[in-house]
Structures are given as structure tokens and as C-alpha cells.
Amino acid sequence: RNALHIALMPGDGIGTEVTEVCVGVLEPLARRHGLGLSFETLRAGAFAYRDTGTAMDEATFARAEKADAILLGAMGWPGIRYPDGTEIAPQLDLRFRLGLYAGLRPIRALPGVPLALADPRAAQIDLVILRESTEGLFAARGRGEIIDDREARDTMVITRATTERLSEFAFNLARRRAARRGRPGVVTLVDKANVFTGFAFMRRVFDEVAQRHPDLVASHHYIDAMALDLIRRPWDFDVLPTENMFGDILSDLGAGLVGGMGFAPSADIGDNHAVFQPSHGTAPDIAGKGLANPTAMLLSAALMLDWLGERGGGQAWSDAAAELEGAVDAAFAGGLRTPDIGGKAGTVETGRAVIDKIGAS
């Protein structure tokens, strides 16, 4: 059994706090399951930019690229920006440079965590937003133009190659979920094909890929209708592939349904690399106070273990992933309450509560 090597990029603000607690949970979990895991901490983000003039230097990128997986905290800071005013966001560079087209954003109601919706069916929410993460409107990042201080243009790009890969990923994910959940898998492309050439194209390519997966249900939804239906009946959805900008919006909306960003993990997956990180930002208002909810980070780490298992690590990794997720659920089901949901359990205490449940289930 070889050790797998994880590049830790804690980043800025609460990113560093949740990363530390997460490693503290992963270490005993790895021992218990006999997983070989080694960590290396890499510096990148807004403060790195302030101190060195580079948000993520090439040596750092090269080390991250060599790792078996990247576990990232959060990056960015108000007041530290690139000269053009845009955010210091090396996490975006990683997505683009490593080709991490599949942005997995699971939205799941955790037992005990207060839900935003009044309808009791909200407790059944269990869907995945699959945000394409290398093109779409974000293809314009750093390439938009301003003409004569009169007009600005940003071009959204949707390619056949990426849409095919994203769609394949979506169907395969739905198939795995269907097996786990014991119900038919449904893949719903979220687009605006009624108005835009790019989205009509995306839909056409998606439909072609859907033909190759007759065991799964393929459907479509317009983005505006989806924003409405994620409020009216989110429990009806399963896997939702969509364009980058739409996915950014829907994943925050989804997080709002199940307790907020503190409960929203993410994985950005490509054919050869993957970055795992909580969906939240660096939370300057609470940074340094030990109050950050590390749940999204722990659930992101579970996604990482699962992915490493799928990629050849084997069953022990998948088991560890399931156990970590189960321990998080059990801790909240048992009454754990973080400050973002009106409780008192800080970052370290939450980590301990989860460790306590590991092996207890």
C-alpha cells in the first residue's frame, strides 16, 4: 500500500482554521482504516500575494500538480486585489490550469441542521449541482474588454468537448448515486436554451451523450425555472449539470437551503487532478476567532477520500469516506450546533465532536 500525497492549501482567513481541524480529523480516520496519507502544506492566496507579489508561484503550482489530491481551505481577502480590481482567487487558476471541469457541489440536508424551507420534505434534499468549472462565462475571466470607457464585453464559451465530458461525468455520477440510494438516477441539464445559441448547443450535445445512458433519465430545466424549483421542490432533483456561472449561483442558493455555506462541500474534478474545498469564502468577519464551522471542509475531505478510492485507492478509502460523512451526520444528529446555526461549538470543538463519532457508528 502506497501513501497518497495530499497538497494542503489552507489559503486565507478561516481557510487555515478549517484546514487544520480537518487534518486533525483525517489523521485518526486514516490510521483506523489503514490508509497511507501524507500531507504537505503549500502557501497561496491573498496574503501570499500581498507578501510576495504572487498569489500562487510556479513552484507551488508544480507541487500541487504532483500531489494525488489538493485539499484547499479558502482564498481571497477584501482589500487585497489584483491591479484590475478582480479577486485573488488561485482556486480559479487551479480549475483552469488543471482542467477541473466537473465542479461537484452536493446539497444535502443534514440531520439536526435547521432547514430554510418550511416544507418538511426539505429534510429529503439530496442533490448535486455539477458546475462546469473551466469555461462558460468564466472563460472571459481576465479577458473581458472595455471599449472607450463606454461598453464592456465578456464572452461566454461553451465547447462540445467539455460539454461531452461534463455530461458523461453527470450520468456516471447519477448511476453511482442511484445504486447507493436505490432509486432511478435523473440528470437534469440546467440551461437557457430558449434564448442563447450557446445553451441550445449545450443542450444538443448533452442530449447526444444522454443517448449513451438509456438506464438513466435525462431532462432539462431552464435556469430561471430551476431557481424557482430549488425553492419549491428541491427534494425532486438529483444531478444538475450546468454552466459555470449558473452553477456558481445555484450552488450558493442550494447551500442556503441546507444551513448555509458552512455545510456546502465541493470538489473540482478533472481527468487527472482534483481540488477539494468548502464552498465558503475566507469569512473575514469571524477569521481568527475559532468560530468557523469546519463541516463543509470535513465533507469536502470525505469527497476526496471517496474520489481517491474510486481512482484505485480501493475500498478502504471509500469506507473511510462513508465513515467520515456518517460521523458528521451523527455529530449533528446528536445535537452538535455551530455558531452559524445558532450554536456554540467552535471549529476545534466541532472537529472533536466528529472524531468522537468515528468508529462509534
Ligand X SMILES: CC(C)[C@H](C(=O)O)[C@@H](O)C(=O)O
Question: Which residues are registered as beta bridge partners of 171?
Answer: none
Site string for its own copies, 141-170 (x = CB under 8 A): x-xxxx--xxxxxxxxxxxxx---------
Task: Give the residues lining the site for ligand X (CB under 6 A).
Answer: 76, 87, 89, 91-92, 194-195, 224, 248
Contact 305, 276 (CB under 8 A): no
Give SS3 for 68: coil
Q: How many residues in the chain?
A: 361
Residue type, 328: V
Distances, alpha carbon 40 to alpha carbons 74, 286, 303, in Å: 17, 26, 19
Q: Tell me: does residue 51 bind its own copies (CB under 8 A).
A: no
Inter-residue contact 230 to 105 (CB < 8 Å)? no
Name every residue whose Cβ is closer than 8 Å to that of residue 359 and which is 6 or more positions away in sequence.
32, 323
Site string for its own copies, 293-332 (x = CB under 8 A): ----------------------------------------
Task: List the interface residues with its own copies, window 165-194 (CB under 8 A).
Answer: 192-194
Instruction: Work out the end-to-end distance of the chain between its first and last CA atoms, rounded to an integer number of angstroms.
Output: 26
Task: Quote the CA–CA distance of 63 and 58 in Å, as a whole number.
Answer: 9
- Whichever of 59 and 225 has its CB closer to ligand X, that residue is 225
Decide whether 185 or 265 has the Cβ nearer to its own copies. 265
Of its own copies, ligand X, none, which one does residue 263 interact with (CB within 5 to 8 Å by kind)?
none
**In whole angstroms, how close is the CB of 56 to its own copies at the nearest point?**
17
Residue 38's SS3 state is strand
Residue 62: name its binding partner from ligand X, its own copies, none (Cβ under 5 to 8 Å by kind). none
Q: With CB under 8 A, what is the number of residues at the site for its own copies?
A: 66
**In the complex, least distance from residue 325 CB atom to ligand X, rounded to whole angstroms:** 21
* Nine cell digits for residue 78: 477584501
**Site residues (CB under 8 A) for its own copies?**
76, 84-87, 89, 92, 114-119, 137-138, 140-141, 143-146, 149-161, 192-198, 200-202, 223-225, 227-232, 245-246, 248-253, 255-257, 260-261
